[in-house]
Amino acid sequence: MKNLFSFLIQYGVVFLFLFLEIISLALIAKNQDYHKSAFLTSSNAVVSTLYGWNNSVIEFFKLSAANDNLSEENTVLKNQIINLQNKLSTLQPQVSDSGLFLIPPEMEYQFISAKVINSSTNKIQNYITLNKGEADGIKVDMGVVSDEGVVGIVKTVSSKFSVVIPILNPKIQISCKFKRSNYTGPLVWSGEDYRYANLTDIARHVQLAMGDTLISSGLTSTFPEGVPVGIIEDFKIRPSDAYFNIKVKLAVNFRTLSHVKVINYLNYNEQKEIEKTTEE
């Protein structure tokens, strides 16, 4: 017994060291899970409050740029309204005889706007924290877009905050397709530059050109079809390869990201359910 105690005292520090390192490793391993608990991450109340304060200071300096963006968007929207009104007025007379037009489009998607209060672009696995959570209707697995294009997918939600996995994280792949040819493939980030990602699953017979636009495919229920993802910056293929190695310039600038919209797909549950029953 005496020997045991003296042994423990002599090597106590080493044991403590190993113990703490094992706890750290356990935390890292736990963090690899897709759905982790919201405790001890930046959706934690204390941390998000602090980030909220910090953000309100930084936000003040970004106001003028945000203003420019908003007014630009405003103009675009106003133009759209005018266009639609024009169309409406040309269509109206025909409604009475055919009844085919003016069927209200099904409201499948709803947007919840949110503000980015913390984000990184320089890690291998990056995350974005938003200032809205479950109380505002955000749920895990919802898609997130900005005015520029696809941002990422919601990973964790607390009552007031949520954490998003952006394209800049190898944990997710965004299914996207070419606007011109409709070929689809998964977009993956390589971990190097926050402006570019790679598309590796396009077969060699597909016709490509620099500057081709890439949009979300709509094949997953997370994003509606047609949200911009990026444009082709460069593509390479060696004679022995079956697939192109395509470098894509992302539509969203993750460094200046400040306002995003979370997509609420209203028929999500119904779609999942019917897909599940078919598989069984």
Partner 1 sequence: MLIVLQNIFRFVLLVLFQVLVLNNIQFLGYINPYIYILFILSLPYQTPRWFTLILAFLIGLTIDTFSNTMGMHAFASVMVAFLRTGIIKLFTAIEEGNNPIPSFHTFGVSAYIKYVVAMVVIHHATLFIMEAFSFSNFWIMSLKIIMSSTLTILLILGLQSLKTK
Task: Establish if 121 lies at the interface with partner 1 (CB under 8 A).
Answer: yes
Of 139-198, binders to partner 1 (CB under 8 A) are 163, 191-194
Distance of alpha carbon 82 from alpha carbon 76, whole angstroms: 10
Take residue 223 and report the two structure tokens written for it.
Answer: 């994003």
Distance of alpha carbon 26 from alpha carbon 32, whole angstroms: 10
Q: Which stretch binds partner 1 (CB under 8 A): 64-72, 114-122, 200-208, 210-218?
A: 114-122
Task: Establish if 8 lies at the interface with partner 1 (CB under 8 A).
Answer: no
The residues that bridge with 186 in the sheet, in sequence order, are 175
For partner 1, the closer CB: 49 or 71: 49
Task: Establish if 45 lies at the interface with partner 1 (CB under 8 A).
Answer: no
Distance of alpha carbon 128 from alpha carbon 113, whole angstroms: 14
Task: Establish if 124 lies at the interface with partner 1 (CB under 8 A).
Answer: yes
Kindly state the smallest distance separating residue 214's Cβ from partner 1, in Å. Answer: 22
Distance of alpha carbon 166 from alpha carbon 106, whole angstroms: 28
Q: Which of 130, 165, 123, 168 is nearest to 43 (CA)?
A: 130
Q: Which of 164, 103, 100 is nearest to 132 (CA)?
A: 164
Kindly state the smallest distance separating residue 122's Cβ from partner 1, in Å. Answer: 4
Residues that bind partner 1 (CB under 8 A): 12-13, 16-17, 20-21, 23-31, 36, 40-42, 44, 47, 50-51, 54, 58, 120-125, 127, 129, 163, 191-194, 255
